Structure 1
Amino acid sequence: MEEKSRIVVMEKVYINRANILTPFGNSIQTNWNELLKGNSAVSKIDSFGHLKNFYAGKIENEIFLNLKNELKDNQHYTRLEIICISALQSIIEKSKISQRTAFVLSATKGNIDQLSDSLEKASIPNFAKKIADYFGFKTEPIIISNACVSGVLAVNVAKRFIEIDEFDDAYVLALDELTDFVLTGFNSFQAMDFELCKPFDKDRKGVNLGEAAACVYLSKSQEENSFQILGESSINDANHISGPSRTGEGLVLSIEVAMKEANISSNEIDYISAHGTATLYNDEMEAIAFNRLQMDKTPTNSLKAFYGHTLGASGLLELIIAMKQAEENLVLKSHNFSEIGTSVPLNILNENLQKEVNIILKTSSGFGGSNAVIILKKVQND
């Protein structure tokens, strides 16, 4: 008996509402205004933990205290929890939370500063449960903690759950906090630049770190200013515990799989939001990967010199800023970039570029050889 093949048509999934909380403030528009001025949220820090005289993106006490004062029962929440609740509050609608609403949380360290008090306080599952309970989520939190690709991967996972009809919609929250643990760890790798970092530049020396919270709402239906997720992928190149593949293998494969799902070719991508950490090997790997895929002429930037590397928040923070660039049809310069420093060419912007942006590629790469990418398409509103 002849077996008939079946074509499975996946539900379209859209990113609708979004918000970010950074050293610039607690809204996308506030952040956008500062970015247009060419300002950076990264500043010099005299002393923090074991380090002195370095650059990082830190949410100042004045902003944090305002957030704390706006939150009821704030004594029950840590600094990071208050930041996350404040960020998510602006897009969440309790009427939207049902038994089929997912809550996906991305973090690499969570409340690690609470480790001296107890392991439970420091655990990411405990942290996620507190946030979920605050907003009244009815499902167990889904935690994504996969190095620096966590923010993009969390969106990808939420999208997949909606596609297979496990959930109707999802809130994704990505976050990380500047801590002595994180700073000391990156410094031990000799991966930090003690001046403002220079992604893709010939004089790049390393990364600045930062902190932020970013969140989005995903659903099967589109709202005003929505973005459809055309494709996504996550592939590990298993190269090294910290160093990326020198040939960009995992990133190339991830982009190829995402483009296949999106049913587009590389020349249809209008803009690339790169990971761009300003470390020697990450920027070189990304440049090689983009060249292998004939995307060396595609307008590309890194936001790391604007915000620092915000770890578990970085992928989603930068994706949201990429969406804002598409809405405004304006691609931002790669801050603090002067001259290309990779072995192959790239179109790294040193000035803001006014152009039509409909399809976005966002890439993330992290320790352990992890890579995650997502492709979005701007939905044209009637």
Structure 2
Amino acid sequence: MKKLYLLEDAIISPLGFSTKENIQAIREGKSGLKFQKPEFTENQFFAGIIDETLLNQVFSKIGAIEKFTKLEKMILLAVKQLLDKNKNLDLTETALILTTTKGNINLLKEPGDFPESRLKLSKLGKIVANFFGFKQTPIILSNACISGGLGLAVARGLGNSGKFTNAIVVGADLVSDFVISGFNSFQALSTEACKPFSKERDGISLGEAAAAIMVSTEKPEISNVISLIGDASANDANHISGPSRTGEGLYISIQKALKDASISAEKVGLLSAHGTATVYNDEMESIAFHRSGLQEVPIHSLKGFYGHTLGASALLESIITKHSMLNNELIASKNFGELGVSKSLNIIQSNKHKEIYYALKTASGFGGCNLALVFKAEKE
């Protein structure tokens, strides 16, 4: 299969409204997670929530704030940044791939003046396409928490089939009452900022973000570029919400992705894990990584910075991985303490300089879905 080149990108999150702002924030160890006053949960919880007042101030420069939901404004701002850098991009031939788990699910509680149809993911896609003038029907992906990364894999597959040369992949989700109540029912919300892979971890912190990236099957005329050279997805069919205790689905995904990329585990220089900080997820990942021979690879989870941003998470974290490779830097896994999984892992505990030629990004989600992406740094 052809490579998929990762070009311009944008991140809208509590840490900033551009990729540059986000990267600087995580370099400095800043977190977007803050204490949230519970409305219908018994315990306090932490989450990364975008300030809507600030969002409206920024969005008002490109559109009428009353015509769009919070999620839509986040997505539109992210995509606008890409298009501003690609003025000559032909939108009649560019694919739009939108990934999310719940879309405008917050409208169930407070619909405001928006019609019921606004809840549909297909409608969300049309709103984004119409705002900018994309002519092709948007591709909507909603496969739990691997959705954002799966968008890159789907883009690579469609690009290789000749369906398009250029595409914009965008992932976004909100911290809604629907999502909060769901994770709370599993007793999975941490009462503190989450601590991925740590002994004292007690659950996830939720987050919201929009991430967008332009991709192409044509190599750009720049000296340094990151490409997606391998991808695979497998379902462990274990449980509607619980991961496989043996890490089977993630293990299969990793093996197939490495084979697709034609590299061995020894060549991987950075492993960006899903790392939700729940007891079972982190344990499952450690087993899958150990089975794959990745226990010595520098590994981090970015959830301590952003929380779990659901359908945006794997795409947002892939963008951070891309820049880590371009900048030759390893970002520390925030809030990590003492290792709390049964298999040894090389958790990154402080920011470091390191040449990275290959990186592996993994993600897992409800329903047993798992994803692995292999990135290559094409440096000259």
Report the TM range for the smaller structure's normalisation. Answer: over 0.9
Amino acid in the other structure paired with 1:295: L
Matched residue of 2:194: which SS?
A: coil
Which residue, 141, 150, 154 being the options, matches 1:153? 150
What's the CA shift for 1:338? 1.0
Change (3 A) 1:269 1:325: same
SS state of the match for residue 214, structure 1? strand
Displacement, 1:76? 1.4
1:191 positional shift: 0.8
Change (3 A) 1:238 1:319: same
* C-alpha separation in 2, matches of 1:183 and 1:67: 27
1:349-360 matches, within 5 Å, as 349-360=348-359
Given the two structures, how large is their TM-score scaled by the length of structure 2? 0.95
Q: Are the equivalent residues in 2 in contact too, given 1:174–1:213 (CA < 8 A)?
A: yes
TM-score, normalised to structure 1, is 0.94
SS at match of 1:227: strand
Mean Cα displacement is larger for which, 326-335 or 264-273? Answer: 326-335
Deviations 1:240-263 (A, max 9, x none): 000011111011111111111100
| Count of matched residue pairs | 372
Question: In structure 1, which of residues 36, 40, 43 is the aligned counterpart of residue 34 of structure 2?
Answer: 43
Give 1:5's aligned residue.
Answer: none
Which of 90, 108, 113 does residue 106 from structure 2 map onto? 113
Any conservation in 2 of the 1:51–1:184 contact (CA below 8 Å)? Answer: no
| Counterpart amino acid of residue 149 in structure 1 | I
User: Do the aligned partners of 1:67 and 1:82 also contact (CA within 8 Å) in 2?
Assistant: no
Q: How does 1:256-271 map to 2 (within 5 A)?
A: 256-271=255-270
Match status 1:201 vs 2:198: yes
C-alpha displacement of 1:199: 0.2
- Structure 2 counterpart of 1:61: 52
Q: Is contact 1:174-1:215 (8 Å) kept?
A: yes
Q: Describe the shift of the 1:49–1:142 C-alpha distance in structure 2 as closer, same or farther (beyond 3 A).
A: farther
Counterpart of 1:163 (choices 150, 160, 163) is: 160
Deviation of the 1:300 alpha carbon = 0.1
Aligned partners of 1:228 and 1:48: how far apart in 2? Answer: 44
Can you list the C-alpha shifts for 1:285-344, whole angstroms capped at 9, x where unaligned? 100001001110000000001100000000001111111111111111110001110011
- For the residue of structure 2 that corresponds to 1:327, the secondary structure is helix
Tell me how far 1:51 sits from its aligned partner.
6.7
Structure 1 residue 60: Cα displacement: 1.4
Counting only pairs closer than 5 Å after superposition, residues 59-208 of structure 1 correspond to structure 2 as: 59-92=50-83, 93=86, 95-116=88-109, 117=111, 118-208=115-205
SS at match of 1:218: strand
| Deviating more after overlay: 221-230 vs 184-193 | 221-230
Q: Alpha carbons of 1:340 and 1:50: their partners in 2 closer, same or farther (altered >3 Å)?
A: closer
In the alignment, which residue of structure 2 is the partner of 1:286? 285
Bigger CA drift: 62-71 or 176-185? Answer: 62-71
Question: Runs of 5+ in structure 1 lacking a partner?
Answer: 1-9
Q: 1:21 aligns with which of 9, 12, 19?
A: 12
1:92-114 per-residue CA deviation (whole Å, 9 max, x = no partner) reads 23531343311000000001112
Aligned equivalents of 1:177, 1:67: Cα separation in 2: 18
Contact kept, 8 Å, 2:209 with 2:309, in 1: the verdict is yes
How many Å separate the matches in 1 of 2:305 and 2:39?
A: 20
Letter of the 1:106 counterpart = T
In structure 1, give the amino acid aligned to 2:329: L
CA distance in 2, matches of 1:72, 1:52: 38
**Aligned to 1:235, what secondary structure does the other structure show?**
strand
Partners of 1:49 and 1:64 in 2: CA distance: 26
1:95 match: secondary structure:
coil
Q: Is the Cα–Cα contact under 8 Å of residues 196 and 303 in structure 2 kept in the other structure?
A: yes
Q: Give me the CA root mean square deviation.
A: 1.4
- 1:177-233 Cα shifts (integer Å, max 9, x gaps): 111111111110111101111100011100000000001111122233421111001
1:49 is displaced (CA, Å) by 6.1
**Which secondary structure does the structure 2 equivalent of 1:96 belong to?**
coil
Gaps of 5+ in 2: none
The one-letter code of the counterpart of 2:108 is L
Structure 1 match to 2:329? 330
2:208 aligned with 1:217, yes or no? no
Q: Percent identity, aligned pairs only?
A: 43
1:164/1:228 Cα in 2 relative to 1: closer, same or farther (>3 Å)?
A: same
Q: Verify the 8 A CA contact 1:231 1:374 in the aligned structure 2.
A: yes
Question: Aligned partners of 1:273, 1:317: CA distance in 2, in Å?
Answer: 11
Paired AA for residue 160 in structure 1: G
Report the CA distance shift for 1:142/1:336 in structure 2 as closer, same or farther (over 3 A): same
